[in-house]
Structure 1
Amino acid sequence: MKKINLLILDDKEENIISLEALLGDIENINIISTTDPNEALKLCWKNDIYIALVDVQMPDINGFEFVSLLKANPKTSHIIAIMVTAISKEDKYLIKGLQSGAVDYLYKPLNPEITIAKVNAFVKQVIIQEEIIQKNAELEQSKLALIASNKEAEHARKSKEIFLANMSHEIRTPINGIMGIMHMLKNSPLNSEQMDWVKRLDTASNSLLMIINDILDISKIDSGMMKIEYESFNLRDLIEETTNIFRIKAENKNLLLDVIIGDNLPQIVRFDALRLQQILTNFISNALKFTQEGKIEFYIDKLSQKENVNRIQFAVKDTGIGIKPESVDKIFQEFEQGDDRITKKFGGTGLGLAIVKKLAKLLNGEVLAESNFGEGSTFSFIVDIESETENTLDRKKENLQFTELQKLNNLKILVAEDNDLNSFMLAHMLRTWECEVNIVKNGRLALDALEVDRYNLVLMDTHMPVMSGFEAITEIRNSLDPQLSNMPIITISASVMEHEQKAAFEVGADDVIGKPFHPIELYNKIVKACKIQIINS
């Protein structure tokens, strides 16, 4: 540690020599002395003086005046001043010294023990103060570094979010067109071979969409943006729907996909259907990926019940390659596989089970993995799910083809979409429902079209050149023509980011549909936005 500079000011040289000898053994001090008060002031200004022992009775400038000058100067006001005096110990002198800025007195003749003890105490005080100053400086540097680090992290987070949003938009837009064309092909006359091609293309598109969703979901969960949304649904229907997604793939691999449902399983439940299906989909998809022969068994059973809360286990057991014991925990980490060679042989992002683990935590459930290497694995999800006492669900129509839906009676629809494949697919679906369709490629052209003709509905893509969908909707809602300003508008967005969907409603959209969408989902939103009465058969 650096030494503490201590100044001795006394007009008599012998007093200085005596004090220097007395204080010479004190550690961590460097003594500077002078008999001239003016010289002492210069020394205080030029040197880093911490403590000053000042004689009271001096010619020209006395000790009280000297200390007052020290305290008046910001550069020297920090110096600890101790008066050294041979004059009376009367209170008036003590008060005068303290008023000038001194903190203590030493009386001549000096008591060596008291003098050394007082100086030692003030030296320690200075050392502590310096350490505090140093620590504060270090803390300030750490604070600045932390602020800078947080700014960098926030910038990285925003950059990541922007990248993911752009990636989602750029990939979802063509996928929406591909999946839309597949729906059209399924409703057209195809021979068995062609239908098989379409089904394979459908499976590939869903696999690609699952990868995109996995990447976005990891980002949402890590940033705390993932929301759990509870709804009432038929649990058995969800299990059947989830299993049917993989039946063709199982058949193509000559694998038996067996579903075993417990007799006491509740039928109507309240839970997050989307996230439950996401977990089950990952389990079954992994089982199919890593199983070459044998079978896959999907068990669903109620373990216990307390009032209307059911503890349910969803388990998928396969006869696949299995996992080495030391790798079981590793498979739940992001971008990890049980073995590096697995990625080369079987593919995959290594995100599926990481998402399952995080989703299970958000749903207050747990994920278990059991495996015998070379023999197979069992993945389980155990969670509490509320059962509904009354079935208030509408009858499902998921098996209904979009071409079989009730016609929309020449509804006039303006489609603003810059992607040719998507606009082609949209126009085909709408015309199937006997809608009159006009297509434009940006928001500005949409506004021009609305000035020329009247429409019952606008389907508005959010991201378009020249003028975006949000800008066009804002102008429509600000129109002085009430028929135009109240026009039903549904935005079509390739982004699944909540803030963008929220922004659509804020600018005035009546509804939002995300790419890729199912034709029936689009149909239902059109019916709702246009307040069309549907006659149920």
Structure 2
Amino acid sequence: MEKINILIVDDRPENIIALEALLERDDVNLISTTLPNEALRMAWEMDIAIALVDVQMPEMDGFELVEILKSNPRTKDILVIFVTAISTDAKYAVKGLNTGAVDYLYKPLNPYVTSAKVDSFIQFVRTQRDIVKKNKELESYQKELIKAKDLAEQGKKIKENFLANMSHEIRTPINGIIGITNFLEKTELDAEQREMIELLEISSNSLLGVINDILDLSKIEAGKFKINRASTDVVMICHAVVNLLRIRAKEKNLELITLFDDDLPRNILADSLRMNQILMNLIGNAIKFTNSGSVTLKVEIADRKGNNVRLKFSVKDTGIGIPANKIDKIFETFEQADDNTTLNFGGTGLGLSIVRNLAQLKGGELTVTSEENKGSTFSFINWYEVLETQPENVRRAPEKLSAFDNVRILVAEDNPINKFLIVKVLKGWNIIADVVENGKEALDKLAENDYDLILMDTFMPVMNGLEATKLIREGYVEGKKDIPVITFSAAVMENDKKAAIDAGADDVLSKPFELAILHQKIVHYTEKK
């Protein structure tokens, strides 16, 4: 335990000896002097906690000594106890307390009272010093927390910027590949060429799926992921997923089986997109890790309560299985059961991590049972509200997108493939399209001609699409500040969409986009005008 320094100041040595005899103990250092000036020096140089000061001294009385101590920032916190033989008249006590003393001891000293008072002040000093120490530690922790928070926010910002840039850089060429594939499909092809086009389409969509998985995961971690519930046909969703994956199962000679409870409700309130994502990941995984046998999707009713039903979606395979000590690991981001899994089967290790996060976000639970070399069963269980059965919609062939009459659009796009694709699409709809490569050229072209709409890429050299849009809205080109602007970008983070709207864009289109959605938006903004 740290010792407390106590200073005794008295002009009579015998009084000092008597006080030292009363106060001596292991947890204090007693320092004494008969000279007030010497006392001032000691108080300045040493860490004095308590001072017992005689009032009457020849050179300088106790009141003057304490006034000097209290006027100095270095010694102002010393606890002063006056020791006096003067009358116990209240006016002397008041004078001493006004000077800064905390207590009075009267001679002749009562040993018990003296010892008890000094003990209480020693305890007070220790408590005060502990508080000061804790406050310093707290300040230090606060500084570290602020620093850690700043670093975390900086890291989060860097991660979001990286994901946005990576998304744009990868999705832009994928957009070109998918677009050209769509155009090639409509040309005269022999059987071999058509097969190659189909493989190209599968590969590009697979790559796009990986990018979307990474972005979904980052949105979940950032707490920006939304669940949108609407009327959902469970059986139809399951059949759609199975049909999409049937080709992959067929390639491996696997039997793809679906089993449904007879009284399964047809329509429930659910997020069909996320249900699709969960089933795609679970069935896709089962096919990937099964070399022979079958993969079964079973949907059954686990429980009912009033108008709510608890559904259990189980995906059972006869694949390689998972060792018991590796089951927890497979749900971690970028992790697989062991190091050879990626080597033998490929994949990013993102699928199951996203499924688990989606299951938790939807309020459900994901379970797994597995036996090595015999197979695994993944089950997703959740409560859903049952909706009234709606009449089945008769499927119609998609209508041909209609041509436009006298519509002129300015396209700002620097990527040559995307430029080629969008111009070809627009011309196919009888739209007059002028193309520029950056925001500066877009402003110049807008000053020269009248347009019904601008399609503005976000990332471009010289001047990006957001800067150009902002300048248009500020009236940079006279008479054109209200022209509809649709920004399109391969970056799909919420911040990117918000930035585009804040810059003045009327709408945001993410690459790769469906032609029907682009057509719909052009109709909306040209008719509005």
TM bucket, shorter chain: over 0.9
Deviates more, 1:60-69 or 1:338-347: 60-69
Mean Cα deviation higher: 31-40 or 263-272: 263-272
Deviations 1:353-412 (A, max 9, x none): 111111111111111212222122221212223344374998766x638xx322233532
- Residue 398 of structure 2 is aligned to residue 400 of structure 1: yes
SS of residue matched to 2:194: helix
The question of whether the paired residues in 2 share the 8 Å contact of 1:300 and 1:312 is answered with yes
Matching residue of 2:331: 332
Q: 1:157 aligns to what? A: 156
Unaligned ranges ≥5, structure 1:
533-537
Which shifted more, 404-413 or 386-395? 386-395
Deviation at 1:305, TM superposition (A): 4.1
Counterparts of residues 166-205 of structure 1 (less than 5 Å)? 166-205=165-204
Cα distance in 1 between the residues matched to 2:192 and 2:257: 26
- Secondary structure of residue in 2 paired with 1:530: helix
Amino acid at match of 1:434: N
Give the paired residue count.
529
Cα separation, partners in 2 of 1:453 and 1:263, compared to 1, 3 Å = farther
How far apart are 1:171 and its partner, in Å?
0.4
Distance (Å, rounded) in 2 between the aligned partners of 1:469 and 1:34: 82
Q: Residue 488 in 1 paired to residue 484 in 2?
A: yes
Change (3 A) 1:426 1:239: farther
After TM superposition, the structure 1 = structure 2 runs for residues 380-459 of structure 1, keeping only pairs within 5 Å, are: 380-389=379-388, 391=390, 400=398, 404-409=400-405, 411-459=407-455
- Classify 1:304/1:23 alpha carbon distance in 2 versus 1 (closer, same or farther; 3 Å): closer
- How far is the alpha carbon of 1:457 from its aligned partner? 2.1
Partner of 1:10: 10
Corresponding residue of 1:535? none
How far apart are residue 10 of structure 1 and its match?
0.8
Contact 2:181 2:201 in 1 (8 A): yes
- CA drift of 1:188 comes to 1.7
CA drift of 1:340 comes to 2.2
Q: Is the 8 A contact 1:233 1:393 kept in 2?
A: no
Q: Partner residue of 1:20?
A: 20
Give the letter aligned to residue 10 of structure 1. D
Cα RMSD, aligned residues only: 2.4
Give the alignment's TM-score, normalised by structure 2: 0.93
Cα drift, residue 421 of structure 1: 0.9
| 1:373 aligned partner, one-letter code | E
Aligned equivalent of 1:277: 276
Q: Deviations over 1:273-320 (max 9, x none)?
A: 222211111111101211112222222334444444332222222221
Seen in structure 2, the aligned counterparts of structure 1 residues 176 and 13 have a Cα distance that, compared at 3 Å, is: same
The CA deviation at 1:510 is 2.3
SS of residue in 2 equivalent to 1:370: strand
> By how many angstroms is 1:120 displaced?
2.2
Q: Distance in 2 between matches of 1:410 and 1:379?
A: 55
Aligned pair in 2 of structure 1 residues 472, 394: CA closer, same or farther (>3 Å)?
Answer: farther
Unaligned runs of 5+ in 2: none
Distance 1:470 1:106 in 2: 79
Whether the 8 Å contact between 1:180 and 1:519 is mirrored in structure 2 is no
The range that moved more, 437-446 or 263-272, is 263-272
Assess, with a 3 A threshold, how the Cα gap between structure 1 residues 394 and 77 changes in structure 2: closer, same or farther: farther
After TM superposition, the structure 1 = structure 2 runs for residues 120-131 of structure 1, keeping only pairs within 5 Å, are: 120-131=119-130
- Residues 269 and 189 of structure 1: CA distance in aligned 2, closer, same or farther (over 3 Å): farther
Q: CA deviation at 1:527?
A: 2.4
Q: 1:57 to 1:392 in 2, by over 3 A?
A: farther
* Amino acid in the other structure paired with 1:149: A
SS at match of 1:531: helix
Cα distance in structure 2, aligned partners of 1:524 and 1:246: 30
Distance, in Å, in 2 between the alignment partners of 1:303 and 1:531 is: 50
Report the residue type matching 1:219 in the other structure.
S
Distance 1:19 1:480, change over 3 A: closer
| 1:469 matched residue in structure 2 | 465
Cα distance in structure 1, aligned partners of 2:248 and 2:518: 28
Counterpart of 2:80 in structure 1 is 81
Partner amino acid, structure 1, of 2:138: L
* Matched-pair contact (CA < 8 Å) for 1:511–1:529: no
